[in-house]
Amino acid sequence: MNSSDAKGWLADFLILAAIWGSSFLFMRVAALELGALPTAAIRVAIASLFLLPLMLAKGHWQALRQHWKPVLFVGVLNSGIPFALYSFAVLHITTGFSSILNATVPLFGAVVAWLWLGDKPSLSRTVGLGLGFGGVLLLAGGQASFTPNDSGVAPAWAVLACLAATTCYALAASFTKKHIPSLPPLVTATGSQIGATLALALPALWFRPDHWPSASAWGALLVVGVMCTGVAYILYFKLIDNSGPARALTVTFLVPVFAIVYGVLFLGERVTAWMLLCGAVILLGTSLSSGLLKLPGR
């Protein structure tokens, strides 16, 4: 990679991390007024409307039409369910805490790939799995309780929602690898958002708010739908094309940094030393389990 390519990759990397880090903030702003399911549904609907014209302009309609069933289904796993779970979680735990738990996606991905695809991890990756899950237990044990907080919901349920969301991401990755052929990234991105929209439409209508949301809530939805979903997908696939999936995956580790900063600056959230320490353990374990780092001689 020459110096200009390296600068371009770094710029895309930082922008993507900053965008995805802000998604937790905007989800919370929207969900406070609309609730979790309507927030997730409108997010993917906006992303679909943003991505569909781009896909059609590229002439990819036939590819989506040919493979629509698995592509739409993976959208339910990779966007519909996780976005709803995170929209619920950020109402009851801090956005920084949620983002640290989100960084375990490669960790769960390694476990699912092992159990489903037979991708047995090496010793280095096994050590990483142990470290990562140990960090999750320490973080959850220190931060989560089954005693309801001011929102009326126990933080532990929000933690479990985040971990269920990361499991969905992991299942979606293995499903894609096993059942979806090599398709243009824009096809998978657009089709998955359409699939998530269709899955969430009726539940969102059922749980719709009894009042018209404020302009700030609609603004948050617009940003999380266009920027944090539509534009972010394009940047992510560009990163994969330019630098490979392994390097692109490391953006997951920088997202919590931005999310924590946004939470402190705009929501007045408190960050503890214990949270940062457990987050570091989780990131180290995730780096090992995903193969980005290796033990000496392994």
Burial class (CB in 10 A: 0-12, 13-18, 19+), 119: middle
pLDDT at 222: 97
Residue 168 identity? C
- Tens digits of per-residue pLDDT, 71-89? 999 999 999 999 999 999 9
pLDDT at 195: 97
Residue 57 pLDDT more than 60? Answer: yes
pLDDT at 3: 55
Burial class (CB in 10 A: 0-12, 13-18, 19+), 294: middle
pLDDT at 61: 95
Does 279 fall in a domain? yes
Mean pLDDT value of segment 199-227:
95
4-26 core/surface letters (b: 16 or more CB in 10 A; e: else): eeeebbeebbeebbbbbbbbbbb
- Tens digits of per-residue pLDDT, 218-247? 999 999 999 999 998 888 877 776 766 656
Please tell me the pTM assigned to this model: 0.88
With a pLDDT cut of 90, the percent of the chain lying above it is 47
- Across 52-66, 132-146, 201-215, 271-285, least confident range: 132-146
CB 282 within 8 A of CB 136: yes
For the chain, the average pLDDT equals: 87
pLDDT band of residue 297 (cuts 50, 70, 90) is low
Does 209 fall in a domain? yes
Mean pLDDT value of segment 96-103:
89
pLDDT band of residue 7 (cuts 50, 70, 90) is low
Residue 20 pLDDT more than 90? Answer: yes
How far apart are alpha carbons 289 and 111 in whole angstroms?
Answer: 9
- Tens digits of per-residue pLDDT, 255-290? 888 999 999 999 999 888 888 888 888 888 878 877
- Tens digits of per-residue pLDDT, 171-195? 988 888 888 878 888 898 999 999 9
pLDDT band of residue 45 (cuts 50, 70, 90) is very high
Residue range of the domain that includes 230: 3-289
Does 115 fall in a domain? yes
Total of domains in the chain: 1
Please say whether the dihedral angle defined by the alpha carbons of residues 145, 38, 259 and 253, taken in this order, is positive or negative: positive
How far apart are alpha carbons 192 and 61 in whole angstroms?
Answer: 14
pLDDT band of residue 254 (cuts 50, 70, 90) is confident
Does 125 fall in a domain? yes
Does 298 fall in a domain? no
Does 188 fall in a domain? yes
pLDDT at 215: 95
Does 160 fall in a domain? yes
Does 295 fall in a domain? no
Mean pLDDT value of segment 136-154:
73
- Helices 232-243 and 36-57: angle between axes, nearest 10 degrees: 60
pLDDT at 88: 96
